[in-house]
Structure 1
Amino acid sequence: MPVRHTTEDPRRRIVEAAVELLESGGPDAVSTRAVAAAAGMQPPAIYRYFGDKDGLLEAVAEHGYAQFLQTKRAQLDPAPKDPVEELRRAWDMVVEFGVSRPELFALMNRATGSGSDAAHRAGLDILRGRVRRLAAAGWLRVDEELAAQIIQATGQGAVTTWHSTPAERRNPALLTVLRESMIAAVTRAEPLVPREESGPAAAARALHAALCDDVEVLSAAEQCLLREWLARLAADTPQA
């Protein structure tokens, strides 16, 4: 079925069709024939505008970067009242983009063309600007270059870990904990998620770990119930 186009520009129509196929079916779905059909054009148009499939994928990556940078710039505050909170929002935005658009995010990270490289540098410039504001306000714990690397690595790592984890085992708390670990490593601010060293939750985690093998004194049903209770205590989340 052809893609519903938002432009009459043939090149952009092809890119939009390729993006939709990529996000709905993965890289294997982005064949020149399928993209041409979705764009309502003939396959030779792909080669005329992009040279080959690699050129098309590079254009798709550039398109993704353009959307990503537009969002980042829309959120950019040149004089934030709280640069640490600004960093949290920016990190969340990057991770949300990667979590919600995994195929496009992965393609963007693999792209090596000049257009994608320029867009990548533009994104890094925005990140370094945020880091510079943290430093100027006295919040930075490490040097600016290391801070930028930590922020970037934790964001990409969060997205990669999320998608490599089976859907039924994904826990949104992971993203919050990773973000606050980044905040603690980069800034002097207190993380929003306190490090819990003791208490019922920590004790429940320890006991749950100790029960990894069967406990003969308990029946299978009792062990299952006990593990459920311990998991709820370990999560430290009020139950309805």
Structure 2
Amino acid sequence: MSTRARILEVAADLVARSPDGDISTRAVCEAAQVGAPALYRHFGDKEGLLSAVVDHGFDQYLATKRRRGPGADPVQDLRDGWDSHVDFALRNPNLYRLMNSPAMRTPPASALESHRILTADLERAAAQGKLRLAPELAAQIVMSANVGVALMLVSRPSTFTDMSTSTRVRDAVHAAIFTPDVATAGPATDEARVPPTAARLNALLRQSPHSPLSAAETGLMREWLDRLSNAPTSFSA
């Protein structure tokens, strides 16, 4: 293994095990058993090292996208791309936070490539008449929302506990960029009316100063209505 590869491997391991994702060049040099001049010769500075770590880790995620050919349905490719992006973030939280850190003044090459892949899928959707915005603008909207959801899930797991949040945001964003025939599954069904009805009843119960239910019954009713309001159903899958 070359000196550069050893330094990179050690740095990636330290980032993954760090409580906050931060590492020092001294710790990297000690673990890789190299002097500081060797690290700076290969990576320039700490930012260059961290950028290389991000590219090294995210390259594994992008490899699957490079290998797959475009599917017949670009919209499904975009749905799958969103989900795989979030899955990568959840499996590599420190690396993902590092990739999107303001401290990274120069965007890693992997981030730029990911954006190009997204834009290409949107261009295919536009060519099929399924996009209501220019692909470049749609790509900015999708990437902003995708990264935002992923960062919240990995940075605030105690607050963002419902994993269906990602799917719901994805579908809302897609409804904004795709033509109505693509974004909607058809007319509302009785099943589709359950969540908004439950949410409305729950809100009315919270606003009502008087209730024939006991405190325990009210708590249980609200729990049931929350479940009905939030539970994914076939119409929103």
Q: Provide the TM-score with structure 2 as the length reference.
A: 0.79
1:56 aligned onto 2:60: no
- Structure 1 position 177, deviation (Å): 1.0
| Cα gap change, 1:152 to 1:90, in 2 (>3 Å) | same
- Structure 1 position 171, deviation (Å): 0.9
1:224 aligned onto 2:231: no
Q: Counterparts in 2 of 1:156-235, with a 5 A limit?
A: 156-167=147-158, 169-188=160-179, 189-191=182-184, 199-212=193-206, 217-235=212-230
Structure 2: gaps spanning 5 or more residues: none
Query: What percent of counterpart residues are identical?
Result: 38
For the aligned residue pairs, the C-alpha RMSD in angstroms reads: 3.0
Task: Name the CA distance, whole Å, in 2 between partners of 1:25 and 1:194.
Answer: 50
Task: Name the CA distance, whole Å, in 1 between partners of 2:232 and 2:56.
Answer: 41
| Cα gap change, 1:37 to 1:139, in 2 (>3 Å) | same
| Cα gap change, 1:234 to 1:174, in 2 (>3 Å) | same
* Cα deviations by residue, 1:61-89 (Å, 9 ceiling, x for unpaired): 232343333232123x24x2111111111
State the partner residue of 2:134: 143
Residues 99 and 162 in structure 1, CA contact (< 8 A), matched pair in contact too: yes
- Structure 1 position 216, deviation (Å): 6.3
State the partner residue of 1:68: 61
For residue 214 of structure 2, what is the amino acid of its counterpart?
A: S
1:124 aligned onto 2:115: yes
Task: Name the CA distance, whole Å, in 2 between partners of 1:146 and 1:25.
Answer: 36
- Structure 1 position 166, deviation (Å): 3.7
Residues 8 and 53 in structure 2, CA contact (< 8 A), matched pair in contact too: yes
For residue 58 of structure 1, what is the amino acid of its counterpart?
A: S
For residue 153 of structure 2, what is the amino acid of its counterpart?
A: W
State the partner residue of 1:33: 26
Residues 180 and 193 in structure 1, CA contact (< 8 A), matched pair in contact too: no
Task: Name the CA distance, whole Å, in 2 between partners of 1:95 and 1:42.
Answer: 37
State the partner residue of 2:90: 99
State the partner residue of 2:146: 155
Residues 205 and 234 in structure 1, CA contact (< 8 A), matched pair in contact too: yes
For residue 184 of structure 1, what is the amino acid of its counterpart?
A: A
Q: Provide the TM-score with structure 1 as the length reference.
A: 0.78
| Cα gap change, 1:26 to 1:165, in 2 (>3 Å) | closer
- Structure 1 position 14, deviation (Å): 1.4
Residues 180 and 191 in structure 1, CA contact (< 8 A), matched pair in contact too: no
* Cα deviations by residue, 1:24-77 (Å, 9 ceiling, x for unpaired): 2245651223223433445554344334333322221232343333232123x2
Structure 1: gaps spanning 5 or more residues: 1-7
- Other structure's SS at 2:78 match: helix
- Other structure's SS at 1:233 match: helix
For residue 39 of structure 2, what is the amino acid of its counterpart?
A: I
In the comparison of the two structures, how many residue pairs are matched?
227
